[in-house]
Amino acid sequence: MVNKFESTYSLLNIPVPVRQRTGRSIENIAAVRASVQNEPNQSIPRRSQELGICQITLWRILLKDLILHPYKIKLTQELKPLDHLKRRNFSDFVLQKFEENPEFHQKIIFSDEAHFWLNGFVNKQNMRYWTATNPHVLHETPLHPQKVSVWCGFYAGDVIGPYFFVDENNRHVTVNGVRYRAVLEEYFWPELDGCDISDMWFQQDGATSHTAGQTIDLLKAKFETEVITKASMDSSSSESEDEQQEDDGRIPEAVSLAGEKVQDGRLRLDHSELFSGSPSTRQLARESGISQRSVLRMLHLNKFHAFHVSLHKELHGNDFQNRVNFCEWGLQKLQSDELFLTEVLFTDEATFTNCGQVNRHNMHYWSIENLRWLREVDKQRPRSVNVLCGLFNGEIIGPYFIDGTLNTSRYKNILTEILPHLLENIPLHIRQPMWFQQGGCPAHSARIITQFLNVTFGDRWIGRAGNHKWPARSPGLTPLNFYLRGKLKQQVYNEIPTTKEDMKERIRRACAAINTTEIQHVVLSVKQRFRALHQCSRSPF
């Protein structure tokens, strides 16, 4: 009974799960049909739980009996009331130009700027490593990534550029009106020397630096009236980002599969070769000259599996050793007190935006035909909410919404005024042995904060500036990062937030929906993460 209470925090017996129904019976098909009609974009695992039908059977009913297909959501730029009319007017203008000159599209010089980040987006769903055992491939992302701003032009004859925005010290900078006009005069004009631009058009989007009066005068002096921009008479819509398609997030370089041979219609794989690239099955099919279905069968025949790349924070200098030292200290505390993790108040802050990341691979709409499910994302006018949460005693402490960004004065007010109020429902005898944990942002490490924590918690707090130092760039060691943040954002972004208050209310509801047992199990799982850190030569999280 003592062991049961220590492991589950309850003396009640764990309910035995009901065996899920199998078989494509008439009743099961009718239940699935009604479920899809009621909520067509529900996930397979959630629908399987609600209906009590195993996932394999559910897939077969959806695909073979109901003849439905899982269509993915498409993200588009949010349109304002007059944007659609502007798009139509611009399209009418282009069509009119095509009637006058069928080769009009070859007379346009398209231009745009883009940011390339050192932690460039990686589509994990398209990044697979085919191997017999999971190699735990890691893709490091820096905590404070650097970016490069680049300008390019594109027309039927060639690509103009790239031009990188740098200052006099060769440091990369962002675009403003002065720098943009310098690109036109010092780089773009010389590139046009020797070209006949008498009937060429120049296109740019509606960025502020593009629509400044001095910029428009400069372009008209060069191209006269043949300028397509938001500020001109023949304007292009400022929201037409989908007309210039972005890349799909795939890594541009793909390394061929080593040891790949085709003999007697079979794909021979060298098991001793660990793939340094991420070739897709389509690429393997093209290189081997056999069908994609056959490639999949042969991979499975050779007992190869598709493992996804794992994203984690980039480590610097002594980061890994600092993690090891912290985990050793944590394991020592657990040896002397098995419930040590339940005595720690884990805290962290997070930012929720109205254009939050949506995992399109997990969002499907089951239908007979593609209904073109769209979600508008207003990236040009972002709204954000900063929130602080904690985990302690099987409960979520908070959420507390921060006005503006977090600085030292606001954080001091949270510790002195807000935190005691959030903890008032926790019994005093549980709060007295409590440890306090915080991350490593600058507001946490200020001297006034360190002094307050030393007076309030003595030696019972964990942070970058404390006696028990929290290792930098270690989100995988706190349950607020590896569990709570993702769970909340999945619920909040299931539908696009309308206002800040709507976003706050969704966060409150998502926090209230998480049960105590789940939180306790997540907190106790930190012990396994401490142990796992000693079993590899480099941190997997």
Q: Which of 228, 259, 284 is the last residue of a domain?
A: 228
Domain shared by 198 and 59, yes or no: no
Domain shared by 219 and 112, yes or no: yes
Mean of pLDDT values over 433-455? 92
Does residue 240 lie in a domain region? no
Mean of pLDDT values over 300-311? 73
Percent over 70 (pLDDT), the chain:
74
Q: Would you state the structure tokens that stand for residue 199, as one six-digit string? A: 């009937």
Domain shared by 338 and 450, yes or no: yes
Domain shared by 55 and 112, yes or no: no
Q: Are 378 and 348 in contact (CB under 8 A)?
A: no
Q: Which residues, 6+ apart, have CB-to-CB distance to 160 below 8 Å?
A: 109, 111, 152, 153, 154, 188, 191
pLDDT at residue 415, as a whole number: 95
For the stretch 35-86, pLDDT in tens is 988 888 788 888 888 888 988 899 899 988 998 888 877 777 777 778 888 8
pLDDT at residue 408, as a whole number: 93
Domain shared by 54 and 196, yes or no: no
Please name the residue ranges forming H helices in 372-499: 408-413, 419-422, 428-431, 447-457, 479, 485-492
For 444, counting Cβ atoms within 10 Å of its Cβ (0-12 exposed, 13-18 middle, 19+ buried), the class is buried
| pLDDT value at 271 more than 60 | no
C-alpha–C-alpha distance, residues 372 and 74, integer Å: 7
Does residue 142 lie in a domain region? yes
Domain shared by 31 and 134, yes or no: no
Domain shared by 110 and 47, yes or no: no
Q: Are 124 and 308 in contact (CB under 8 A)?
A: yes
Q: Which CATH number belongs to the domain containing residue 436 in this structure?
A: 3.30.420.10
Confidence of residue 19 (pLDDT cuts 50, 70, 90): low
Backbone angles phi, psi at 314, to 5 degrees: -70, 135
pLDDT at residue 363, as a whole number: 59
pLDDT at residue 261, as a whole number: 39
Q: Which of 66, 50, 45 is nearest to 364 (CA)?
A: 45
Mean of pLDDT values over 131-159? 77
Percent over 90 (pLDDT), the chain:
25
For residue 138, what are the domain limits? Answer: 101-228
Helix (H) or strand (E) holding 376: strand 374-377
Model pTM score:
0.57
For the stretch 103-128, pLDDT in tens is 888 889 999 998 887 766 666 666 66
C-alpha–C-alpha distance, residues 217 and 235, integer Å: 15
C-alpha–C-alpha distance, residues 307 and 131, integer Å: 8
Does residue 57 lie in a domain region? yes
pLDDT at residue 462, as a whole number: 94
Domain shared by 490 and 425, yes or no: yes
pLDDT at residue 347, as a whole number: 94
Q: Are 26 and 57 in contact (CB under 8 A)?
A: no
Does residue 278 lie in a domain region? no
Which position has the higher pLDDT, 526 or 145? 526
Query: Nearest 5 degrees, angle CA 376-CA 381-CA 382?
Result: 85
Domain shared by 364 and 430, yes or no: yes
DSSP letters for 6-61? HHHS-SSPPPPPPPPB-S--HHHHHHHHHHHHH-TT--HHHHHHHHTB-HHHHHHI
Domain shared by 333 and 457, yes or no: yes
Does residue 492 lie in a domain region? yes
Say how many domains are in the chain. 3
pLDDT at residue 24, as a whole number: 84
Instruction: Decide: helix, strand or coil at residue 113.
Output: strand
Q: Are 279 and 256 in contact (CB under 8 A)?
A: yes
Does residue 283 lie in a domain region? no
pLDDT at residue 195, as a whole number: 76
Averaged confidence pLDDT in the chain: 79
Q: Which of 188, 207, 228 is the last residue of a domain?
A: 228
Q: Which of 228, 250, 275 is the last residue of a domain?
A: 228
pLDDT at residue 6, as a whole number: 62
Please, what's the b/e burial string for 238-264 (b: 16 or more CB within 10 A of its CB; e: otherwise)? Answer: bbbbeeeeeeeeebeeeeebeebeeee
Please, what's the b/e burial string for 501-525 (b: 16 or more CB within 10 A of its CB; e: otherwise)? Answer: eebbebbeebbeebeeeebbebbbe
Which position has the higher pLDDT, 141 or 386? 386
| pLDDT value at 252 more than 50 | no
Does residue 504 lie in a domain region? yes
Domain shared by 326 and 215, yes or no: no
Does residue 506 lie in a domain region? yes
Domain shared by 58 and 151, yes or no: no
pLDDT at residue 341, as a whole number: 92
Q: Are 472 and 319 in contact (CB under 8 A)?
A: yes
Please, what's the b/e burial string for 471-491 (b: 16 or more CB within 10 A of its CB; e: otherwise)? Answer: bbbbebbbbbbbbbbeebbeb
**Eight-class DSSP state of 437:** E
Mean of pLDDT values over 320-339? 89
Mean of pLDDT values over 82-102? 88
Rg of the chain (C-alpha set): 28
Confidence of residue 256 (pLDDT cuts 50, 70, 90): very low
| pLDDT value at 404 more than 60 | yes
As a 3-state breakdown, the chain gives helix, strand, coil percent values, each rounded to 5, of: 40, 20, 40
